[in-house]
């Protein structure tokens, strides 16, 4: 509950930070870009604040602040932007009107010429704008910069004209004329024929301006109007295109193509280039990299008609009539007797399925209780549902199988949150073992937390035999990399030494730091996995046992483990101790050194015991003749000799004469530290110091004390392997 409150608090703080910094999740702008300036929304390809927020410099606009705290968007230095439309491909801006004024004494004030030029992506809209003149003695003319176009209109008054919204603007107090397509520049000029002498009483000024005819309101332009400083502006619609080229050429150059995913390219009406639009059934900003997203038509029944069951599809939707009805769901559905009968039969089948599901749920609940779910659900272990794991493994498809042994199989699975897991599915179980000891063991193993131990993520108790869910380790078993000569992971001694040290560290943790301590019981190269960084992970606790306080050994009711790795003392007495893991780890060290399996085939074709083979090589001072790799230098040879001596001590037939896993781990850690240091500094004195007397005795081919003599037991039948 406390953790949940902390998460809610963290989400609220992140939202607050986003609000303060102005970050936006608006789908029409780039991530982290400002959405609006004042009352004007600025969608991409336009942008403000940072150059990256716009598609290019042609679409970068300026947002300024006034003294009273308001913001204003500028299309150009002298043109405020009032609206941007992605759908229409337009920008509405304010442009100063030209004027021509006279007072009664004949004095004149005027802004009689306005010259306006646009950038390469813009043109004046011929369908929206009209040249408009207001006055009783006014002549307005308009040309382009190249003087390839010219037009004029004249406005007179025969009496006092009242300007209103419904004025026709046909020459009495007001006149209009159109402009052609494709204009990128305008020169607007205003003149008076008689200096307003005859009409100055009610019309001191004339005005000429380009105006959006849809927004023009002549009541804003009474004939008595005089110029206002920087405020006599008209709304002008400017059309824009993404680029001034054809769609074919634009698509060919993918790096500069402006349209995103699920969009189409089309030509603007003014013929100056192309724009982008969402495909049918999609919505969003077509100019953003992610493009347009599918519309779920089923969420908008008022807009997309469906008289039956609606199903959204990519770019469209389907509508099927309900059971017992026929017809096109989009156009209507009618009652169908035959289908109704079939529907009744289907309903009966559904009822049977529901009964089956109820019985299945009761079975799962019973298994859950019998498997200790009532206790385990209160522990720090995740409880998975049977359906969740069935879906994750594609119904335990054979293609998902990544391991198999006497216990059953291991399957790779992907959970709903995309977590990759390994699901251990047993073949069978002795229900007598499903007691409190099993529940306690699962609770303890679920709390084991070490970087070199495969983590148990949870379990499923709804099946007759519980399913165990482990983290997925991507690079397989150590055994695979030892015996598959195509693998290069173990080509260097440093990697072999590091992996051995990491595995020893995990076993030391289980013996010394776990509470209660754990004897693994099945240490072998198959149960040492390598993750995506080739870090060693000890796995498979199927044969593991817990050591109670004051207990030093476990008297096994049956021998478990893998032949070839089993402690001979354990085989003879049935006493499983921590030193049993030490012996098995010694076999792994020999396997790492020689590349041979515990019961491998010699060149003669006969079975040979790797421990005998290893000891014989040591006695004959032929260690480097049986190695599976090449030592890089003298320092590595010293380290290899030390590891061989350590393996020999681990393989002592008398358990009490073997080192503890702590001693093994510490010695391997020292060797690993020296190996890493030798990359930058070669120091033979330090090598001898770290390796100690064991290395010297090895080189002198000294025999171990009689108390360390060993008995080797060989087995001539196959072993089985379990893997996670």
Quote the pLDDT of residue 13: 44
User: Distance of CA 674 to CAs 60, 326, 643, 691, 705, Å?
Assistant: 60, 81, 13, 10, 28
- The pTM score is 0.47
**Between these two residues, 178 and 14, which has the higher pLDDT value?**
178
Quote the pLDDT of residue 667: 96
**Phi and psi at residue 689, in whole multiples of 5°?**
-65, -45
Mean pLDDT lowest for which of 133-142, 428-437, 458-467? 428-437
Of the residues 100, 137, 212, 522, which is catalytic? 522
User: What is the SS3 assignment for 646?
Assistant: helix
From the options 3.30.300.20, 1.25.40.340, 3.40.50.150, 1.10.510.10, give the CATH code of 478-708.
Answer: 1.10.510.10
Residues 495 and 503: their CA atoms lie apart, in Å, by 12
For residue 169, pLDDT over 80 is answered with yes
C-alpha triplet 474, 480, 485: angle, nearest 5°: 120
Mean pLDDT throughout 79-92? 94
CA max distance for the chain:
136
For residue 532, pLDDT over 80 is answered with yes
| Segments of 77-214 assigned E as strands | 79-85, 90-96, 98-102, 108-111, 113-117, 122-124, 129-134, 137-143, 150-156, 174-177, 185-191, 205-212
For residue 10, pLDDT over 70 is answered with no
For residue 625, pLDDT over 60 is answered with yes
Residues 565 and 82: their CA atoms lie apart, in Å, by 81
Tokens for 582, please give them. 């030490």
Residue 523 burial (10 A CB sphere; 0-12, 13-18, 19+): buried
Mean pLDDT lowest for which of 111-115, 516-520, 648-652? 111-115
SS3 letters across 514-526: CCCCEECCCCCHH
SS3 letters across 175-190: EEECCCCCCCEEEEEE
For residue 661, pLDDT over 70 is answered with yes
Mean pLDDT score of the chain, rounded to an integer? 82
Percent of the chain residues past pLDDT 70, beyond the cut: 80
For residue 445, pLDDT over 90 is answered with no
Residues 213 and 169: their CA atoms lie apart, in Å, by 11
Secondary structure letter of residue 135 according to DSSP? S
Mean pLDDT lowest for which of 247-261, 288-302, 432-446, 548-562? 432-446
Pairing of strands 205-212, 129-134: antiparallel
Quote the pLDDT of residue 327: 83
Quote the pLDDT of residue 210: 94
For residue 267, pLDDT over 60 is answered with yes
Quote the pLDDT of residue 434: 44
Is-contact 210 235, C-beta < 8 A?
no
Q: Which helix (H) or strand (E) holds 15?
A: helix 2-21
Mean pLDDT lowest for which of 492-501, 585-594, 688-697? 688-697
Closest CA to 276 of 70, 55, 448: 55
For residue 515, pLDDT over 50 is answered with yes
Quote the pLDDT of residue 18: 39
Mean pLDDT throughout 56-70? 90
For residue 600, pLDDT over 60 is answered with yes
Residues 33 and 46: their CA atoms lie apart, in Å, by 11
- How many residues are recorded in the chain? 724
Quote the pLDDT of residue 444: 59
Residues 454 and 497: their CA atoms lie apart, in Å, by 20
Active site residue 430: no
Sheet with strand 79-85: strands edge to edge: 62-65, 71-76, 79-85, 90-96, 233-240, 122-124
> In 429-577, where does DSSP find H-type helix?
436-446, 478-483, 493-512, 568-573
pLDDT band at 164 (very low <50, low <70, confident <90, very high): confident
Residues 686 and 451: their CA atoms lie apart, in Å, by 30
Residues 645 and 708: their CA atoms lie apart, in Å, by 12
pLDDT band at 462 (very low <50, low <70, confident <90, very high): confident
Residues 687 and 596: their CA atoms lie apart, in Å, by 28
Q: For the residues of 374-388, what is the DSSP string, one character each?
A: HHHTTSSSEEE-HHH
User: What is the SS3 assignment for 299?
Assistant: helix
Mean pLDDT throughout 254-262? 91
Closest CA to 383 of 442, 444, 449, 448: 442
Condensed to tens digits (0 to 9), the pLDDT of residues 356-396 reads 888 777 777 777 766 666 656 655 678 899 999 999 999 99
Residues 536 and 605: their CA atoms lie apart, in Å, by 33
For residue 403, pLDDT over 80 is answered with yes
Residue 430 burial (10 A CB sphere; 0-12, 13-18, 19+): exposed
Closest CA to 584 of 605, 570, 600, 573: 570
Mean pLDDT throughout 201-215? 85
Please report, for the chain, the start and end positions of each structural domain, with discontinuous segments joined by +.
Answer: 78-240, 371-471, 478-708
Condensed to tens digits (0 to 9), the pLDDT of residues 678-712 reads 755 654 544 455 555 444 444 444 333 333 333 33
Quote the pLDDT of residue 712: 33
Is-contact 75 278, C-beta < 8 A?
no
> In 678-707, where does DSSP find H-type helix?
684-691, 693-699
Mean pLDDT lowest for which of 239-243, 481-485, 720-724? 720-724
Quote the pLDDT of residue 20: 36
From the options 3.50.50.60, 3.30.200.20, 1.20.58.100, 3.20.20.70, give the CATH code of 371-471.
Answer: 3.30.200.20
Quote the pLDDT of residue 6: 45
Residue 264 burial (10 A CB sphere; 0-12, 13-18, 19+): middle
pLDDT band at 608 (very low <50, low <70, confident <90, very high): confident
For residue 3, pLDDT over 50 is answered with no
Closest CA to 141 of 203, 218, 206, 217: 206
Quote the pLDDT of residue 429: 54
Condensed to tens digits (0 to 9), the pLDDT of residues 183-199 reads 999 999 998 877 766 55
């Amino acid at each position: 509950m406390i953790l949940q409150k902390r998460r809610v608090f963290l989400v609220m703080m992140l939202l607050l930070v986003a609000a303060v910094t102005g970050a936006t999740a608006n789908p029409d702008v780039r991530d982290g870009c400002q959405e609006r300036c004042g009352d004007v929304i600025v969608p991409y390809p336009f942008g403000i604040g940072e150059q990256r927020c716009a598609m290019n410099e042609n679409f970068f606009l300026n947002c300024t602040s006034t003294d009273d705290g308001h913001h204003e968007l500028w299309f150009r230095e002298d043109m405020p932007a009032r609206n941007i439309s992605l759908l229409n491909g337009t920008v509405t801006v304010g442009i100063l009107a030209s004027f021509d004024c006279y007072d009664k004494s004949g004095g004149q004030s005027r802004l009689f010429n306005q010259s306006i030029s646009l950038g390469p992506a813009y043109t004046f809209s011929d369908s929206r704008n009209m040249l408009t003149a207001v006055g009783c003695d006014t002549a307005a003319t308009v040309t382009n910069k190249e003087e390839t176009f010219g037009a004029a209109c004249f406005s007179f008054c025969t009496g006092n004209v009242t300007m209103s919204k419904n004025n026709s603007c046909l020459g009495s107090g007001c006149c209009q004329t159109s402009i052609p397509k494709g204009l990128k520049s305008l020169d607007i000029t205003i003149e008076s024929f008689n200096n307003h002498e005859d009409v100055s009483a009610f019309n001191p000024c004339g005005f000429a301006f380009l105006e959006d005819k849809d927004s023009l309101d002549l009541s804003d332009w009474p004939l008595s109007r005089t110029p206002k400083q920087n405020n006599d502006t008209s709304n002008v619609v400017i059309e824009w295109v993404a680029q001034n080229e054809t769609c074919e050429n634009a698509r060919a150059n993918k790096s500069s193509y402006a349209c995103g995913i699920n969009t189409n390219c089309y030509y603007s009406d003014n013929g100056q280039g192309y724009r982008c639009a969402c495909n049918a059934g999609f919505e969003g900003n077509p100019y953003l990299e992610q493009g347009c997203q599918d519309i779920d038509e089923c969420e908008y029944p008022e807009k997309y008609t469906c008289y039956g069951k609606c199903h959204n599809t990519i770019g469209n939707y389907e509508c099927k009539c309900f059971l017992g009805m026929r017809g096109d769901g989009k156009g209507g559905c009618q009652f169908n007797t035959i289908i109704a009968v079939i529907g009744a039969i289907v309903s009966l089948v559904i009822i049977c399925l529901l009964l089956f599901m109820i019985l299945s749920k009761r079975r799962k609940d019973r298994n859950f209780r019998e498997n200790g779910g009532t206790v385990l659900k209160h522990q720090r272990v995740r409880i998975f549902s049977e359906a969740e794991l069935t879906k994750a493994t594609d119904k335990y498809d054979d293609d998902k199988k990544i391991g198999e042994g006497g216990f059953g199989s291991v399957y790779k699975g992907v959970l709903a949150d995309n977590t990759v897991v390994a699901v251990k599915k047993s073949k069978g179980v002795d229900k007598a073992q499903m007691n409190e000891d099993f529940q306690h063991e699962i609770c303890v193993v679920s709390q084991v937390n070490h970087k070199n131990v495969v983590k148990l993520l949870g379990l499923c108790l709804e099946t007759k035999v519980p399913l165990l869910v482990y983290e997925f380790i991507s690079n397989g078993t150590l055994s695979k990399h030892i015996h598959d000569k195509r693998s290069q992971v173990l080509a260097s001694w440093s990697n072999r030494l590091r992996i051995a040290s990491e595995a020893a560290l995990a076993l030391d943790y289980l013996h010394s730091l776990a509470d209660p301590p754990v004897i693994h019981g099945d240490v072998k190269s198959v149960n040492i996995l390598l993750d995506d960084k080739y870090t060693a992970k000890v796995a498979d606790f199927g044969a593991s046992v817990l050591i109670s306080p004051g207990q030093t050994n476990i008297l096994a009711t049956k021998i478990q483990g893998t032949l070839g790795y089993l402690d001979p003392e354990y085989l003879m007495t049935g006493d499983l101790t921590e030193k049993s893991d030490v012996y098995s780890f010694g076999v792994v060290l020999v396997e790492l050194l020689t590349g041979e399996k515990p019961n491998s085939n010699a060149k003669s074709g006969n079975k040979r015991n790797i421990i005998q083979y290893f000891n014989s090589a040591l006695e004959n001072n032929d260690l480097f003749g049986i190695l599976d790799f090449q030592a890089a230098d003298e320092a590595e040879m010293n380290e290899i000799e030390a590891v061989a001596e350590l393996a020999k001590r681990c393989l002592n037939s008398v358990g009490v004469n073997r080192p503890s896993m702590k001693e093994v781990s510490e010695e391997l850690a020292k060797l690993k530290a020296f190996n890493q240091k030798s990359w930058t500094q070669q120091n033979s004195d330090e090598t001898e110091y770290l390796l100690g007397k064991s290395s010297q005795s090895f080189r002198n081919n000294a025999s171990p004390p009689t108390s360390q003599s060993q008995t080797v037991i060989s087995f001539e039948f196959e072993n089985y392997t379990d893997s996670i």
